[in-house]
Structure 1
Amino acid sequence: MATFDEFMDLDIRVGRIISVEDFPEARKPAYKLAIDFGPLGVKRSSAQITELYEKEDLVGREVVCVINFPPKQVADFVSEVLVLGVYTESGVVLLQPDREVPLGGKIG
């Protein structure tokens, strides 16, 4: 079991997707995302969310991300943050706030 302190070590923030690109080099279908975290800047992520989301539907969407994992090399792309979602039989469903919140807002 994880402890509360271990949970608090995760830096989970809200960002807004500002661009989406296809990522044909990835082993599993994925998009390259640029996500704006307000005062924390723009960070990139590789996200395997192609089953339920079209590129044009993602731009402007707020998402919840872990921003303090080490960067991960995915093919020729460096993924800086982990976009959070729920695994379903149909694909990954993104987590998002139910109303607009400040970009970079910390989850806790």
Structure 2
Amino acid sequence: MPVMEVTEGEQQMIFGFRKCLEENNESQLKIVEETYFAKSKQTIFTKAELAKKWSCSTRLVSQILNDHEVKPVGKRGKEHEFDIEQAQAAKENHDKRVLRAHELSMKIRAM
């Protein structure tokens, strides 16, 4: 393989390009990390985001929030936003009630 001679000026340009690329990559990684950690610390969700988080439909999320009278804390576009703590408490209460109703129905069927 032939060896190519590089002048000192060209070598400095190459090192400058490398440094520029490294700084650009570092800044992009920093932005990605900030976005990732911001999502993990998110405390306000829309119904669609809650449905995705809980792996259910938005209709069920609406029913859970309405049954437990969870009020929206804000608005994002046309969507209402709900506090995750209140929504999670409502979901746990709803799940307990549904499981209890299922147990009762199974007992009644066994009789």
The higher relative CO (CA closer than 8 Å, separation ≥ 6) is in 1
Bigger-Rg structure (1/2): 2
User: What TM-score, normalized to structure 2?
Assistant: 0.24
Please state which structure has a larger fraction of its residues in helix.
2
